[in-house]
Each structure stands twice: as structure tokens, then as C-alpha cells.
Homo-oligomer: A and B are copies of this chain.
Amino acid sequence: MAADLNEIVRYIEKNSDRYLQELFEFLRIPSISTDPERKQDVRKAAEFVADQLRKASMQRVEVFPTDGHPIVYGERVESKNKPTVLIYGHYDVQPVDPVNLWETGPFEPTIRNGELYARGAADDKGQIFIHFKSAEAFVETRQALPVNLKYLIEGEEEVGSSHLDEFIEKNRDLLKADVVVISDTAMFARGIPSICYGLRGLVYFQIDVRGPRQDLHSGTFGGTIANPAFVLAQLLAAMKDEKGRVTLPGFYDDVRNLTERERREFAALPFAEPAYKKELGVAELSGEEGFSPLERLWARPTFEVNGLLSGFTGEGAKTVLPATAMAKVSMRLVPDQQPEKIERLFEAHLQSITPQSVQLKVTRMHGGKPWVASLDHPALLAAANALEKGFGRRPVFQREGGSIPVVATFAERLKIPSVLMGIGLPDENAHAPNEKLDLGNFFGGIRSAAYFLEEFSRRAA
């Protein structure tokens, strides 16, 4: 088998229009996993994935039901002597509100200036799609793959992968592999292919503060009873100090410090603060004292308020003392913080600082462990070569501020290393209006995914 993949690259080029048409079809399915009314659409997206795996000549394709949304599995075994690559990704997408801020409909894929706009374009439909097409190109061209290939594509990533761990636990043999490849992250910047070797974890809560039995007139009663919206503001404000540090006792106990090498490498990356501020539309950055922006993003934990709701929020004024106040909050975690421990600490701390004049309810929504890989792992070196060939430029090693909890699951439960070769961009608007994917990166991604199979087959042999 030839080491260069010229014929495969040509096949990809020749079929690029069809690839886009098929991806459009995928993106038109509104598979919002958090919305109970979209259950059938999520199911439809799973079936679409199964069809794609069949097109990629997988020998076995199965849609496994769960108590939530289904998990799609596919495999093609070439030979027991070949190494096995497991592709993980997800076909569910984030909600689309505020929908009025989208320039074109979130489920009406549209190309503008070389970018494909749609919910899921980058996160993660567009990115798993490159792995469907790299396999298809290989088999159509050479009638075989250089590795055994498996796919595990879930539909609950955006809601905490509720049923994935259980599925992995129950199907350890089925999922046996030498490496997991995941494309669900962003490149460091446009034109800089990147490998992600670290992820933050997550804990997410809903906080409900209840005061009086019902909404009251703020004049007739104000001054004698606690205002739940004010108490909520106090609880939230108390979570960080003036240096931007989270005040939760014990929060930093297990935080692993960056090595000097990592700090140097982060500092060498072309991070331009003025451009970053301009892109986000903020006059000043903010964050934990003593750390650079990249360090804050990749290696420091955070506390964020994700949502607030209380009392009167319409137009005009209503002099109401609200009965309840709600916040959604989350913390990004870094190695070696443990979500379960942070959850316990947070709940206990919040209870301890809540006054008796209100009732507090803290609900755990979902969580995920942080993860960091060794920079010298052979799978990472194979990925570096593949990206160099696919994009024509040596990739950088970076971390990512987001969370992909399953990476920690693969490492801990199946002892399989993960390679994160994401082809999104930092401004791709994942989780926001006008999500998009660069088409150059999409095709570079398909090429790189094909090269990876080849590179890994030789390194793991």
C-alpha cells in the first residue's frame, strides 16, 4: 500500500460537491437534544449518521436505543493484526435561542464567504462528517482501510452525555481500540492546524431561591422580608473575590499547576489581545490575576453565571417583590479537580452562606472531568504528521477551555488515549447564533483524517 495518498486526495476533491450536499442534509435536521419536542428530530439525525456509516462501507452499523437519545455504532474490521481506531463524536446540537440574532435560519445551511453557516456546522456535525468521508474515500479508492475502524456517535453530548458512560461500560469489548479520535475542538487560529492535549471539566447547577409564598407588592412588604433576587445576587457575587479567584473553600486544592514548558509554549502562541477583544466586542479582558489569557482559558478553573430569571422582566416597571429567583451557574474544572468533590463543596458552601430567611435548592445538571494528555504520546505524533500533510503546515499543541467529558471516560475506563484533532475555529460561534464552519478547514479535515488512518497504522504496527 502506497504511503502517499494522492489518489485518495483526488477522490475527495472530485466528490466535494456531493459531500457538501450530504452535510447540508445532516444540518437541516434540528437535533436539539435538550428540547423534549425535538426527540423525533434527534432520532432522525441518528438514522442519518447510520446511513453515512453504511456509505462509508462499515460492515456493521447499529442504532442503540438508550433511555435518552440513541447511540450510533459502526465498525469495519480489516484484520486482527491491524490497530483499531475509534472515532467519537456527536450528532446532537445546542439550542438556537436567541433565534432572532441568526442572519439565516439555524437549520437552513447557507454558504457565505467560504463559511458554512448552520447550527451544528462546527459542533459537531461538520466535524464528525470528515471522518465519515475519509473512510469512504479510502475504501472507494483502495477497497480497504489501513486500520480497523469503529464509530461511536452519540446524541446527548450537549446535555451531559447522560447515557454514554453506561453504554461504554456495557460495551467494553465492542469499543476496544488503540486510540480514540475526536474532532470537536477548534484550531488555535485560522491557518494554524492544532492538536488539543487538554480539556477543562465542568459542573453545572440550577440554583433556586424561594422567599415569600408568592410575589408581593414591594412597597407594602419591602423592607421586612428577604428579597430572593437580591439574596441570589449576594450568593453569586460571593463566589469570586476581587482578584477573580473563586472563593469556594477547597476549590483550588487539586488544581495541577502548569509546567514551565507549558507556560513557555502558551506564551509563544500568536495570541493577539487587541484582536481578541475586538472580535468579542469588549473594551477590557477580565479574569484571574497572575495568569495570561491563554492560561486562564486552558489551565485555570472558572465560575460563570449562565442564566438569571426572577420577578418582572417585561417592558416597563412592576413594583414586585418576587417570590423566587433562579440562576444557572457552572464551573469549568482543570486537572486534577474532581467534579463530584466540587459539587459537594459547592452545595455545602451555598447552603452555609444562605440566610434562613429564604429557601435554597441546588440542582446538579451535569458534569464532566477535566483531562490532559502527554505531549509525547505516539498517537499525538501520528496526528501531528497527518495534520501537517492535510493542511500543509505543522500543527501546534494547545489545550481547550471547553469540556468533552467522554475523553476522561475513555482514559479512565477503557484505558484508551484520545487524540483531539479539531478543525473548527475560535470564532465559529458554537453555542451561539450564526454558528459556522470554514470550508477550507472542512476539506483539510477530511484529508487529515485520511492521513491519520495511514500514519497511525504505521506507528502502531
Contacts and interface: CB of A to CB of B under 8 A. Distances in A.
B313 A326 contact: yes
A318 B212 contact: no
A315 B431 contact: no
A41 to B, nearest CB: 16
A328 B313 contact: yes
Interface in A309-327: 309-322, 325-327
Q: How many copies does the complex hold?
A: 2
Q: Which of A212, A309, A312, A319 has the most chain B CB atoms closer than 10 A to its own CB?
A: A319
A216 interface: yes
A235 to B, nearest CB: 8
A411 interface: no
A206 B322 CA distance: 16
Contacts of A281: 212-214
A403 B219 contact: yes
Q: Which size class do A's interface residues fall under?
A: 35 or more
Nearest to A185: B220
A69 to B, nearest CB: 13
- The interface residues of chain A, by DSSP majority, are classed as loop
Contact of A314 (B97, B229, B276): B97
19 contacts: A159-B316, A204-B319, A206-B317, A215-B431, A217-B432, A220-B426, A220-B430, A220-B431, A223-B296, A223-B302, A229-B308, A230-B236, A230-B304, A232-B233, A233-B233, A234-B236, A308-B309, A313-B328, A319-B403
B160 A308 contact: no
A403 B220 CA distance: 9
A17 B401 CA distance: 70
A312 B300 contact: no
Given A223-B287, A224-B285, A233-B308, 16 more contacts: A35-B316, A95-B314, A200-B219, A219-B401, A220-B297, A222-B297, A224-B297, A225-B280, A226-B282, A229-B327, A230-B305, A306-B311, A306-B318, A308-B311, A308-B325, A316-B365
Contacts of A314: 34, 95, 97
